[in-house]
Amino acid sequence: MAVSHSVPSLPAETRSVRNPQLGPNGSLTHLLTLEGLPAEVIRHILDTAVPFTSISERDVKKVPLLRGTAVFNLFFENSTRTRTTFEIAAKRLSADVINLNIGASSTTKGETLLDTVDNLVAMNADMFVVRHSQAGAPHLIAAHLNRTGRNHVHVVNAGDGRHAHPTQGLLDLFTIRHYKRDFANLTVAIVGDVLHSRVARSLIHGLTTLSTPDLRVIGPQTLLPTAVQSLGVRVFHDMRAGLLGCDVIVMLRLQSERMRGALLPSAGEFFKHYGLTMEKLALAKSDAIVMHPGPMNRGVEIDSAVADGEHAVILPQVTFGIAVRMAVLSILAGN
Amino acid sequence: MAVSHSVPSLPAETRSVRNPQLGPNGSLTHLLTLEGLPAEVIRHILDTAVPFTSISERDVKKVPLLRGTAVFNLFFENSTRTRTTFEIAAKRLSADVINLNIGASSTTKGETLLDTVDNLVAMNADMFVVRHSQAGAPHLIAAHLNRTGRNHVHVVNAGDGRHAHPTQGLLDLFTIRHYKRDFANLTVAIVGDVLHSRVARSLIHGLTTLSTPDLRVIGPQTLLPTAVQSLGVRVFHDMRAGLLGCDVIVMLRLQSERMRGALLPSAGEFFKHYGLTMEKLALAKSDAIVMHPGPMNRGVEIDSAVADGEHAVILPQVTFGIAVRMAVLSILAGN
Amino acid sequence: MAVSHSVPSLPAETRSVRNPQLGPNGSLTHLLTLEGLPAEVIRHILDTAVPFTSISERDVKKVPLLRGTAVFNLFFENSTRTRTTFEIAAKRLSADVINLNIGASSTTKGETLLDTVDNLVAMNADMFVVRHSQAGAPHLIAAHLNRTGRNHVHVVNAGDGRHAHPTQGLLDLFTIRHYKRDFANLTVAIVGDVLHSRVARSLIHGLTTLSTPDLRVIGPQTLLPTAVQSLGVRVFHDMRAGLLGCDVIVMLRLQSERMRGALLPSAGEFFKHYGLTMEKLALAKSDAIVMHPGPMNRGVEIDSAVADGEHAVILPQVTFGIAVRMAVLSILAGN
């Protein structure tokens, strides 16, 4: 199989409808990608998430903001973890949640994606959380809703192919801001399989928009997009050089299919060069934070001593992820 | 495989308990089939559904009618679409919904259907929404509950084999009444694979009970039940002749297994003779409505120009389907 | 395959953390096993369950005790029946329920069990209901939570390998106490495949703790643990002798894989020797009750005449099971 090394981008038919996520007055109608999302919209989401972090610590973890609202989890690709975070976020807002694992249903019956969507809109859905293995699927749905005058129904991209995973990007931004206050003086390194990572792509767009001055990607040639510099990042193939002076280190998950493929010699070899150990971590600033989108491959991209150590903010990322998703759903619902 | 062309009917062992759906005073205890359901009961369901159509348009799409009531979706056969419509209907009534995909559980452990039901009744279920690949399964459950003095637990047939799909029939009737006010002067044509369609069967019973004067089925000999005239319909093999002067056209889904089988030459051939195009639609009345139970096979039984055109009321059917199911659940619960 | 006839016990690595279920003040923090659970804790659970039995009979089957609490059903092994009872119990307490079928998700992505748990805790889970094919998994989770100072998150064992199924044991105790008032003078026989039954094991521990004077197990040598007497029970290979004078008979499910294996000659042979018939039942006391954890194999371990007869309390067990699980969840949540 030929491996594409270009920066993943949307297929041609979706490019013309690339940014249907903002309404005429600039307010958020859908959340599809952090690419092109204005800094003030990103900041508004992050600010809205702050008070939601405390709801999750209360005994009664619920607010009635979305009572009677129907949130459909439309998962064309299985992802228990992401589906669960959205389900919890929606339930904490008192929404009614309908989980649809679409792989096994209508699309196998020959119905088109947009017919499926039209049917669910006809059931008076208020919001779709969409996960799809194909880049651009959430865009197509959002553009279809806009075009047919039904943008009171909102789409949230929960991961589409190698394209984007905006709520993960937002929770990463939230976490960085929480620990580092400000993006103005930060050095951030994203390490590992950037090529196949929608997480990396969304975070790069977010950090760039928020004017992070020193943004680096670290990885072997085979796992970096060829024109990655065009996104405004510096490229390092030597992890030690790349980690020097970093405030934030974002480790990416190495998917096991990469390890079996031609892109990498072996998991052990990868760990030697690009796995984060305490020794390599010492090259970063002494108060550096270590992030990971999960699930982790301990001993492949990250050593357990780091994963469980005091620099890791991997579990707080998960907690903030609920608050950020509550913020997104709540903003889209007009609250 | 020999193909049965007789009108699908319940197996012998269920025939004696054929209509256990009405209580001694004639009120609805279970909803199993539209066959033999009195016109006043059908009209009561349709009337009850009317105000529920507006709940779905409100911001808070919920009424507390079924609060604390446990609705079990007992799906012995997978159907995400139908399960979802019942789940939404129940949640809008504030019921607690428990989804059980039974194929993968108790019945594979050798437990009998009625033992499974008894167990769920012992968990204080209030209502069962039953989908089963075998005709008569919901009847057996309802008859068992009646016989054992537990008819405070209600059964709704959500599709059983080729036998019946009464809530689909009711939403079809609701849609027709919504657009045509009255059944007294209507010409209704049902087109396509009537032989394998529980949707067609339920709708024919409903339209007959409500005294629709001119009811037609249109399809090739191989896809019509042999004695279909006995149900009170006129048979057309020529679609153009059958559509002449129609007020309502109900297109049926052609299941892909039929296309691969011996019953049909090819999908293209079927479309040529029995697919609904704008040109054929012009033979019906100028204000005719086009219905389809979904999911559609565009280009097989219906042309996209018709499916997306102004005569189509296919998406309103879905919306009305929620209201009709809310009405059924609410009537059964005694509200 | 060599068959272990020893009393099932936890693997070595979990033995050191064997009883992490009680807090420092002796209150229930997790429910992992009835082994070693003090009589007063068991009695408190049973007493708490009593008023919950009436909630299930009300029209509105809900109390707000766990409103805003997040209960995660963590099922690493599929069990629709058990999952459903916990889901109903949690919903009747107004909790938010998240169902996770973990087999198909993170663990297949190489994440460790405890990483999965840490992630869910980071989503602010309040309670885990854990089903796992491996004995000790719920213990490991509970010990991990205790060790990391997060015992405000509670674990309920919903069945772990051949080890324990404490809520089933508790509902059995509740049922016996309901019909027999007191354990002080009872003769209880547990019949069938004791070797592979976590249900039997949990019940034996519970009955022993509550000082049941005459506790018997009945079964063929091949289906009894070798050192079963050490648990404080009398062993019978002759069912007729074992049933003499019993107040309570607990029939165990014979799993079909046993019937196909080398442990048993055939299902028919098993029924002849160890199936409960009306004739054998007559050897017990005239007011004996017959219990079964379900799902039943009619004609294998129990005759239909007995299963549906007046001595059977099999369906009341199911009903009491909801109340007992409500009690456990409610006590753990601190109510």
Residues 6+ apart with CB under 8 A from B239: B191, B218, B273, B274, B280
Helix (H) or strand (E) run with residue C209 in it: helix C198-209
Could you report how far apart the first and last alpha carbons of chain C are, in Å?
47
* C122–A58 CB contact, under 8 Å: no
What residues contact A315, with CB distance under 8 A and at least 6 apart? C118, C119, C121, C122
User: Which long-range CB contacts under 8 A does B137-140 form with residues at least 24 apart?
Assistant: B137/B76, B137/B113, B137/B161, B138/B30, B138/B32, B139/B10, B139/B14, B139/B17, B139/B18, B139/B20, B139/B32, B139/B33, B140/B13, B140/B14, B140/B17, B140/B113, B140/B114
Using pLDDT thresholds of 50, 70 and 90, give the confidence band for residue C7.
very low
**pLDDT at residue A193 tops 80:** yes
Task: Give yes or no for a contact between C306 and C290, defined as CB atoms under 8 angstroms apart.
Answer: yes
The distance of C295 to chain B (nearest Cα, Å) reads: 6
Phi, psi of B129 (to 5 degrees): -105, 115
Residues 6 or more apart whose CB falls under 8 angstroms from that of B111 comprise C294, C295, C296
pLDDT digits (tens, 9 = 90+) for A163-182: 999 999 999 999 999 999 99
Over range B313-330, report the average pLDDT: 97
The CA dihedral of C81, C85, C88, C92, to the nearest 10 degrees, is 170
pLDDT of residue C26: 85
Query: From CA C304, how far away is CA C297, in angstroms rounded?
Result: 9
Q: What pLDDT digit, counting tens, does each position of B153-207 carry?
A: 999 999 998 899 999 999 999 999 999 999 999 999 999 999 999 999 999 999 9
Mean pLDDT for B297-321 is 96
Using DSSP's 3-state secondary structure scheme, residue B75 falls into: strand
Q: What pLDDT does residue C144 have?
A: 95
C334–chain B nearest CA distance, Å: 23
pLDDT of residue A57: 75
- CA of A69 to nearest chain C CA: how many angstroms apart? 16
Inter-chain contacts counted by CB atoms under 8 A, chains A and C: 75
Interface residues from chain C to A (CB-CB < 8 Å): 67-70, 96, 98, 100-102, 104-106, 109-112, 115-116, 118-124
Residue C231 DSSP symbol = G
CATH of domain C17-163+319-332: 3.40.50.1370
Give residue B18's pLDDT.
Answer: 47
Burial B43-62 (b: 16+ CB within 10 A, else e): eebbebbeebbebbeeeebb
Structure tokens at A294: 């999960």
CB A298 within 8 A of CB C112: yes
Enumerate the residues of chain B whose CB falls inside 8 A of the CB of residue A103. Answer: none
**List of residues 6+ apart from C75 with CB closer than 8 A:** C83, C99, C100, C101, C102, C103, C130, C131, C158
- How far apart CA A216 and CA A232 sit, in angstroms, is 9
Pick the range with the lowest mean pLDDT from A169-173, A316-320, C256-260, C330-334: C256-260
The per-residue pLDDT for B101 is 81
Average pLDDT score over residue span C148-154: 93
Q: Which residue's structure tokens are 């049933």?
A: C243
Concatenating the DSSP letter of every residue in C166-182 gives HHHHHHHHHHHHHHHS-
Q: What is the pLDDT of residue C8?
A: 47
The residue to which tokens 């001595």 are assigned: C311
pLDDT-derived band at B5 (thresholds 50, 70, 90) equals low
Q: With an 8 Å Cβ cutoff, are C106 and A78 in contact?
A: no
- Rounded to a whole number of angstroms, the distance between the first and last alpha carbons of chain A is 47
> Mean pLDDT, chain C, as a whole number?
90
Non-local CB neighbours of B259 within 8 Å, separated by 6+ positions: B266, B267, B270, B300
Q: Do C115 and A56 touch (CB under 8 A)?
A: no
Q: Answer yes or no: do C57 and B124 touch at CB < 8 A.
A: yes
pLDDT by residue (tens digit) across B263-283? Answer: 677 888 899 999 999 999 999
> Could you tell me if B253 and B292 are in contact, meaning their C-beta atoms sit under 8 angstroms apart?
yes
**With 90 as the cut, is the pLDDT of residue B97 above it?**
yes
Q: Quickly name the fold that domain B166-317 has.
A: Rossmann fold (3.40.50)
A37-62 average pLDDT score: 91
Q: Is the pLDDT of residue A196 over 80?
A: yes
* AA identity, residue B158: A
What residue in B sits closest to A110 (Cα-Cα)? B297
Strand runs labelled E in C254-315: 289-291
Range of weakest confidence among A196-210, C36-50, C53-67, C115-129: C53-67
Q: Reply yes or no on whether the pLDDT at B48 is more than 50.
A: yes
Q: Please tell me the distance from the alpha carbon of residue B32 to that of residue B17, in angstroms, as a whole number.
A: 11
Q: What is the DSSP letter of C109?
A: G
Q: The dihedral of CA B172, B175, B179, B183: what is its sign? A: positive
Chains contacting B (3+ CB pairs below 8 angstroms): A, C
Q: Is the pLDDT of residue A315 over 60?
A: yes
Strands of the sheet containing B127-132, edge to edge, are B96-101, B70-75, B127-132, B154-160
Chain C contacts to B (CB-CB under 8 A): 56-62, 78-81, 84-85, 87-88, 91-92, 256, 294-298, 315-319, 321-322
CA distance B319 to B296: 16
Residue A316's pLDDT is what? 97
3-state helix/strand/coil string of chain A:
CCCCCCCCCCCHHHHCCCCCCECCCCCECCECCCCCCCHHHHHHHHHHHHHHHHHCCCCCCCCHHHCCCEEEEEECCCCHHHHHHHHHHHHHCCCEEEEEEHHHCHHHHCCCHHHHHHHHHHCCCCEEEEEECCCCHHHHHHHHHHHCCCCCCEEEEEEECCCECHHHHHHHHHHHHHHHCCCCCCEEEEECCCCCCHHHHHHHHHHHHCCCCEEEEECCHHHCCCCHHHHCCEEECCHHHHHCCCCEEEECCCCHHHHHCCCCCCHHHHHHHHCECHHHHCCCCCCCEEECCCCCCECCCECHHHHCCCCECHHHHHHHHHHHHHHHHHHHCCC
Query: A119 and B315: CB-CB below 8 Å?
Result: yes
Q: What is the pLDDT of residue C1?
A: 35
**Closest of A172, A165, A200 to residue A77, by C-alpha:** A165
CA C223, distance to chain mean position in Å, is 19
**How far from C192 is each of C236, C239, C242, C333, CA to CA, in Å?**
11, 9, 12, 36
Contacts of B105 in chain C (CB under 8 A): 78-81
Q: What is the pLDDT of residue C56?
A: 72
pLDDT at C260: 65
Each domain of chain C, given as residue ranges in start order, spans 17-163+319-332, 166-313
pLDDT at A58: 80
Res B9: pLDDT: 52
Find chain A residues with C-beta within 8 A of C111's C-beta.
294-296
Helix (H) or strand (E) holding B248: strand B248-251
The yes-or-no verdict on residue C2 having pLDDT over 50 is no
The subunits that touch chain C, with at least 3 C-beta pairs less than 8 Å apart, are A, B
The reported pTM is: 0.90
What top-level class would CATH report for the domain A12-164+319-332?
A: alpha beta
The per-residue pLDDT for A20 is 86
Provide the percentage of residues in chain A whose pLDDT is more than 90: 74
pLDDT score for A16: 43
Helix (H, G, I), strand (E, B) or coil at C128: strand
Chain position carrying tokens 């192919």: A161
Give the strand pairing for C248-251 and C289-291.
Answer: parallel
Instruction: Say which amino acid occupies A123.
Output: M
Which residues in chain A have Cβ-Cβ distances shorter than 8 Å to B56? 124
Give mean pLDDT, residues B7-29: 67
Chain B nearest CA to C88, separation (Å): 8
Residue of C75, C93, C96 best to disrupt the A interface, most CBs of A under 10 A: C96
Closest-CA distance of chain C to residue B105, Å = 6
The answer to which of A253-262, B315-324, C144-153 has the lowest mean pLDDT is A253-262
> What gap in Å lies between CA B82 and CA B321, rounded to an integer?
10
Per-residue pLDDT, averaged over A8-33, amounts to: 72
Per-residue pLDDT reduced to its tens digit, A200-248: 999 999 999 999 999 999 999 999 998 888 888 999 999 999 999 999 9
Give the chain B residue nearest C86 (alpha carbons).
B123
pLDDT greater at residue B160 or residue A16: B160
- Residue C255, pLDDT score: 78
Q: Which fold has domain B17-164+319-332?
A: Rossmann fold (3.40.50)
pLDDT of residue B180: 98
Which of C98, C119, C147, C332 best tests the A interface by mutation, with the highest count of A CBs <10 A? C119
Q: What residues in A contact C123, CB-CB < 8 Å?
A: 84-85, 88, 318-319, 321-322
Task: For residue A100, give the nearest of A69, A130, A126 by alpha carbon.
Answer: A130
- Choose the weakest-confidence range: A49-58, A151-160, B66-75, C159-168: A49-58
For the four alpha carbons of B251, B252, B257 and B259, in that order, the dihedral sign comes to: negative
pLDDT grade, residue A41 (50/70/90)? very high
How is residue A298 written in tokens? 């301990």
Using omega within 30 degrees of 0 as the cis cutoff, is the peptide bond preceding B295 cis? yes
CA of C219 vs chain A CAs: smallest distance (Å): 43
* Mean pLDDT estimate for chain A: 90
pLDDT of B91 higher than 70 = yes
When pLDDT is cut at 50, 70 and 90, the band that residue B2 belongs to is very low
CATH topology identical between A12-164+319-332 and A166-313: yes
Mean pLDDT over each residue of chain B, to the nearest integer: 90
Structure tokens at A113: 């994606």
Task: Find chain A residues with C-beta within 8 A of C112's C-beta.
Answer: 298
At A330, the amino acid letter reads S
Q: Which of C33-37, C100-104, C139-143, C198-202 has the lowest mean pLDDT?
A: C100-104
Neighbors of chain A by Cβ distance (3+ pairs < 8 Å): B, C
Q: Do A70 and B61 touch (CB under 8 A)?
A: yes
Question: Directed axis angle between helix B166-180 and helix B314-332, to 10°?
Answer: 120
Tokens of B226: 């042999």
Q: For residue C81, which phi and psi values (nearest 5 degrees)?
A: -65, -50
Q: Top-level CATH class of C166-313?
A: alpha beta
Task: Give which of A209, A210, A187, A190 is closest to A200, Cα–Cα.
Answer: A190
For A175, other C-beta atoms within 10 Å of its C-beta total 23
Contacts of B258 in chain A (CB under 8 A): none
DSSP summary character for residue B189: E
A17 has a pLDDT exceeding 50: no
Are B105 and B134 in contact by the 8 Å Cβ rule? The answer is no
**Which of A171, A153, A142 shows the shortest CA–CA distance to A72?**
A153
Mutation target vs B (from C52, C71, C84, C308; most B CBs, 10 A cutoff): C84
pLDDT score of B298 more than 80: yes
Cβ atoms C275, C307 nearer than 8 A: no
Rounded to whole angstroms, the Cα distance separating C231 from C233 reads 6
Contact B122 C87 (CB under 8 A): no
A→C interface, C-beta within 8 Å: 56-62, 78-81, 84-85, 87-88, 91-92, 256, 294-298, 315-319, 321-322
Unique residue bearing structure tokens 């929620």: B322
Mutation site for C-interface testing, chosen from A55, A75, A80, A93 by largest number of C Cβ within 10 Å: A80
Residue of B74, B101, B109 to mutate, testing the C interface (most C Cβ within 10 Å of its Cβ): B109
